[in-house]
Structure formats: structure tokens, C-alpha cells
């Protein structure tokens, strides 16, 4: 087999002697050659022999597996980088442990510096939310605003609440909640839109700190074989990425999303999705329609178990959400709308449907991010409207710790249903939601094929009928995510003319057990025909 185009020049990079997975349903190749950032040949080893010159880097794969570079369809990339530079609260097992870690981190910072990120998970200590009272003594000189790992709750110390002007008289904003004790005093936990009350008090992050965070995030992506990031950073990340691109420091490609509030300024400036180049381009507009299941703020049709007054939060009035979507669609922007609860999914699908009715035209690449709890009736509407489901498989094997306790077994039949989306003919893209979950694609692949926790269990998997095969998962994590990004003519398969973005694994993922998927390391990451990571 050879796919060498006529007149191809000598290659910059040749991978040979391996097992190259070109894409689902395609025969594997032995060798791949790249020049000027793109694949120029795939085939047998002899097919690339004449493309090797004096300046060609040749990698002997020794039978190792090569796959297209992973395209993470939903990442909070710059925040993830800042998290790498900040305190790690993800594995804290109690409020005391959380306070100890915050106190130790505070000692490394100048007084007055804000402590952010953290990514704590109160489910690790039984589900009781932490309070400012538990952390005040450890952080007397540093305002604290550390988020739960899903980003829909944050814990503040008393100093941060004072800086933000939040007290017992502060009203809950629409789509947000200030947690209060029996006396009506804020406990320190703020939910969803109430988090903005604190964010307004935090000084803007310096460009230098953003550069440090971006470099840390890029190094993490390269180590894990992630070559494209669809970035939902709340921080204005675009100037940082453009600066690193101009310096030649980018080691991953970035589709940069903008918040819906930027719509008017984007229209006025003439900017449109897709504007940019192969390294940095403008992506869709992002809207948050509800909260999260772990925070108990995902918008549901029925109350959460044991919480008769809690159906979660819609972060916008329905009429306002529909108006935003209609205006953005009319202006030609693609949309990526966060919807986790079944009510939120229905409301967003309704808004998409009305936008099509008002603006005319055929199906467009609307996206719903997470799509975690979707009724069977609404599953069919995804297909009818052409909505892409942007799913993070590792959420299922994390959230199953508490999902049934919050929803009950019957309602969980409509939750985390990856195979059901595929069976319904819905286009799917995969990602991680990093910092919420680890950036590691292996965890997502493992979740797809096992539906088990990383440590194992439940035996046979949670809702095992929703498992998919490894080649399907790889396809959705490469071609599927490129399709959602509208770049599948350039990415997602390793064919001549496509961008030379690929990953070399130390072993063939198709030849190891499901458990071993989590342990097979990335040996080499290639972006644009350039090696950006090489394992020692």
C-alpha cells in the first residue's frame, strides 16, 4: 500500500517499522512521512525509502502503535495551566486536609495574593460542603477562592468575602446561590452565577503569569499526546496564545472559544469562527445554561433525591437564552452550549429549534457540551437538529460515585449514554473538561470501553450497555472532535495532505487489556511533523 503523491519531496520526518492506525475502518500502515507540517506519504516501509534525505529525522518505531493526535473537544486550558501552578486540592480527603494544604500553599505566596483553582471534591469526604470557618485560620492573609473540580462551586474564606462585599444582606443573583448557615450568614460557598460576585474583586492575571500557565499546560498536553485543544478558558487566553505562537512556542493547536457576552464586539470587529491559522483559530461562542450534577445545580425536570425544593439552576431566563442563541446564529456564529441536566438539554434544544425556524437554512453544527442527562425523546432531537454531543467519558466513571444517590437508578438510565447517542445517529466529539477531569486521553478511552472506575469496579461496568469499542472511542477522540471543530479535512486521520499530528504509544493499545490502557505511556508526540515530546 502506498499513498505517496506525485512529486513529493524529501521528508522532514519519517516514522517506519510500526503499526500506524490511520483512522477507523482503514488498513494499518507501517510507515509515515511528513514534510512542511503535513503527511506526504503512508504505506509500507519501502514506500517512504526515497523520501529519506540527509536532513530527515527517521524514527524506528520497532512495532509501536501510532494514532492521530488526540483532539480534546472541551478543555479549560489556561485555567488548567494555572491549576498546575497552584495548590492541589483534588485529592483532599477531609476539610482538615483541605485547610492544611491551603495553609501550606499560602506560606509560599506574598501576603495579599489570591489563592485560586484547587479543584476540591467534597464527595471525597461524604458530601458535606466545606465552610470558610474551616480554612480561615490557615489563610488569614490571603483571600481564597478555590473551586470545586467541576467549576460550579467555589469556597471562599472570610477575607475573600469581605473583598467581594458579600455578607448576610447580599442577594442571590439570577442563576446563582450563596450558601448560608442557619443564621443566614454566608458559609463561604458560592454557586454558579454567584461566583461572579467574587471574581469581580480578583485582580486581573498578569500576562507573564498567563504565559507561565500556558507553557505548563502545553507541556502537559504534549506529554499526553493531545495535539489540538478546543479551549473554553474563562480567562482572555487569545493574546497569550498568539504571543506564544509568534515566539514559536506552541506545541498544540488551539481553537479559542469566546463567551456569548463578546457577541456584539465580535460582530462589530468583523470576526467570525474559524478566523486564524492552523495553530490558533477563533472557535464557537460559549453559553452556560445550567450548573453541574456534583454541585446539585444541573437543571432537572424533577427534584434531586432528598431535596424536594432543588431542581438545579437555569443560569438564564429561557427567553434571554433563546434571544442570545438566535442573535448569534443569525450572525453566523457557531455555538457551544453547556447543558448537563435533562431540563437544561430540553431548553437548549428548544432554543436551537426556534433559531432555525427564525433564521432559516438547514441544520448547522450546533453543539451541546457535556450532554450528561438527556431524555430519550430529546436524544432523537439531537439527530433531527444536527446537534453535536460533546461528551467527556471520564465524567461517567467519576460521577457514578454519587449519580444514583442524586437521581435514583431509574433516572440514571438517561445519564451518560454515549452508545445511545451513537445508535441514534448523533455526531459525537470526545474530550476531558480538564481541569475538571485529568487531561489524559487514556482515561477517556478506558471509560469508554469499561465504564469502570480507574481502580476497578463495578464489575462489568456501570450501565454496561453504554460501552463502546476502542476503535470507536479513538475515532471520536480524533476525527469526531475534528468534525466538531470543523477541521476534519485537516485533522483526525493520518492521510496524505492532512496535518502531521500523531502520537506514538509504547505498546499497541489494541493488544493490551482494558486495565492496561491506563498504563501504556506516550513515547512520542508529533505536531506539524515536529517532535514536541519524547519520553526518556
Nearest to 487 by CA among 285, 230, 239: 230
pLDDT digits (tens, 9 = 90+) for 317-343: 999 999 999 999 999 999 999 999 999
Within the chain, all domains assigned CATH 3.10.310.70 are found at 90-199
CA angle (315 as vertex; 165, 118 as ends), nearest 5:
60
Residue 7 has pLDDT above 50, yes or no: no
pLDDT digits (tens, 9 = 90+) for 74-122: 999 999 999 999 999 999 999 999 999 999 999 999 999 999 999 999 9
Distance CA 251, CA 229 (A): 10
pLDDT band, very low/low/confident/very high, at 6 (cuts 50, 70, 90): very low
- Count CB atoms within 10 A of the CB of residue 359: 15
Residue 3 has pLDDT above 70, yes or no: no
Distance CA 521, CA 67 (A): 13
Do 317 and 346 contact (CB within 8 A), yes or no? no
Strand partners, 467: none
The CATH code of domain 90-199 reads 3.10.310.70
Sign of the CA dihedral 190, 437, 466, 226?
Answer: positive
How far does the chain reach from its first CA to its final CA, in angstroms? Answer: 33
Do 270 and 114 contact (CB within 8 A), yes or no? no
Within the chain, all domains assigned CATH 2.30.40.10 are found at 1-69+492-536
Assess if CATH 2.30.30.30 describes domain 1-69+492-536.
no
Average pLDDT, the chain: 95
pLDDT digits (tens, 9 = 90+) for 396-445: 999 999 999 999 999 999 999 999 999 999 999 999 999 999 999 999 99
Do 11 and 51 contact (CB within 8 A), yes or no? yes
Nearest to 40 by CA among 503, 530, 498: 498
Kindly report the pTM of this predicted structure. Answer: 0.90
Amino acid at each position: 500500500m502506498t499513498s505517496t503523491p506525485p512529486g513529493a519531496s524529501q521528508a522532514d520526518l519519517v516514522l517506519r517499522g510500526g503499526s500506524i492506525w490511520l483512522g477507523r475502518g482503514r488498513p494499518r500502515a507501517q510507515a509515515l512521512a511528513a514534510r512542511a507540517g503535513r503527511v506526504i506519504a503512508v504505506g509500507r516501509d519501502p514506500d517512504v525509502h526515497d523520501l529519506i534525505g540527509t536532513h530527515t529525522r527517521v524514527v524506528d518505531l520497532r512495532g509501536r502503535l501510532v494514532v492521530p493526535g488526540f483532539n480534546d473537544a472541551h478543555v479549560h486550558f489556561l485555567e488548567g495551566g494555572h491549576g498546575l501552578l497552584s495548590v492541589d486540592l483534588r485529592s483532599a480527603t477531609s476539610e482538615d486536609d483541605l485547610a492544611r494544604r491551603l495553609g501550606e500553599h499560602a506560606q509560599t505566596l506574598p501576603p495579599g495574593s489570591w489563592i485560586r483553582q484547587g479543584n476540591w471534591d467534597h464527595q471525597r469526604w461524604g458530601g458535606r460542603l466545606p465552610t470558610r470557618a474551616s480554612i480561615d485560620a490557615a489563610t488569614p492573609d490571603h483571600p481564597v477562592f478555590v473551586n470545586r473540580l467541576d467549576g460550579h462551586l467555589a469556597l471562599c474564606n472570610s477575607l475573600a468575602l469581605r473583598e467581594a462585599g458579600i455578607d448576610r444582606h447580599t442577594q442571590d443573583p439570577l442563576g446563582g446561590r450563596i450558601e448560608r448557615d442557619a443564621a443566614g450568614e454566608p458559609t463561604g460557598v458560592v454557586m454558579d452565577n454567584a461566583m461572579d460576585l467574587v471574581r469581580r474583586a480578583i485582580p486581573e492575571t498578569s500576562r507573564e503569569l498567563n504565559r507561565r500557565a500556558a507553557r505548563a499546560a502545553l507541556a502537559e498536553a504534549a506529554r499526553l499526546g493531545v495535539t489540538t485543544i478546543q479551549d473554553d478558558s474563562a480567562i482572555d487566553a487569545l493574546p497569550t496564545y498568539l504571543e506564544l505562537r509568534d515566539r514559536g512556542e506552541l506545541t498544540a493547536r488551539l481553537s479559542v472559544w469566546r463567551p456569548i457576552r463578546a457577541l456584539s464586539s465580535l460582530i462589530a470587529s468583523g470576526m467570525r469562527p474559524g478566523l486564524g491559522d492552523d495553530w490558533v483559530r477563533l472557535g464557537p461562542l460559549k453559553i452556560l445554561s445550567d450548573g453541574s450534577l456534583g454541585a446539585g445545580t444541573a437543571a432537572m425536570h424533577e427534584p434531586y433525591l432528598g431535596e424536594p425544593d432543588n431542581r438545579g439552576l437555569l443560569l438564564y431566563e429561557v427567553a434571554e437564552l433563546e434571544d442570545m442563541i438566535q442573535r448569534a446564529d443569525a450572525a453566523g456564529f457557531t455555538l457551544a452550549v453547556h447543558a448537563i441536566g435533562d431540563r437544561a438539554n430540553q431548553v437548549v434544544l428548544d432554543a436551537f429549534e426556534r433559531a432555525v425556524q427564525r433564521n432559516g437554512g438547514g441544520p448547522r453544527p450546533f453543539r451541546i457540551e457535556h450532554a450528561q442527562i438527556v431524555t430519550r425523546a430529546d436524544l432523537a432531537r439531537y439527530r433531527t437538529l444536527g446537534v453535536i454531543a460533546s461528551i467527556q467519558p471520564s465524567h461517567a466513571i467519576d460521577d457514578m460515585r454519587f449519580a444514583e444517590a442524586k437521581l435514583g437508578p431509574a433516572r440514571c438510565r438517561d445519564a451518560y449514554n454515549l452508545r445511545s447517542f451513537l445508535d441514534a445517529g448523533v455526531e459525537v466529539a470526545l474530550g476531558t473538561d480538564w481541569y475538571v477531569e485529568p487531561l489524559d486521553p487514556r482515561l477517556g478511552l478506558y471509560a469508554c470501553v469499561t465504564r469502570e472506575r480507574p481502580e476497578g469496579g463495578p464489575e462489568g461496568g456501570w450501565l454496561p450497555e453504554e460501552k463502546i469499542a476502542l476503535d470507536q472511542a479513538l475515532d471520536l477522540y480524533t476525527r469526531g472532535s475534528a468534525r466538531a471543530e470543523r477541521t476534519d479535512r485537516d485533522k483526525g486521520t493520518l492521510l496524505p495532505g492532512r496535518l502531521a499530528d500523531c502520537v506514538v504509544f509504547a505498546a499497541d493499545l489494541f493488544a493490551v487489556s482494558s486495565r492496561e490502557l491506563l498504563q501504556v505511556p506516550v513515547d512520542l508526540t508529533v505536531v506539524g511533523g515536529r517532535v514536541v515530546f519524547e519520553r526518556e
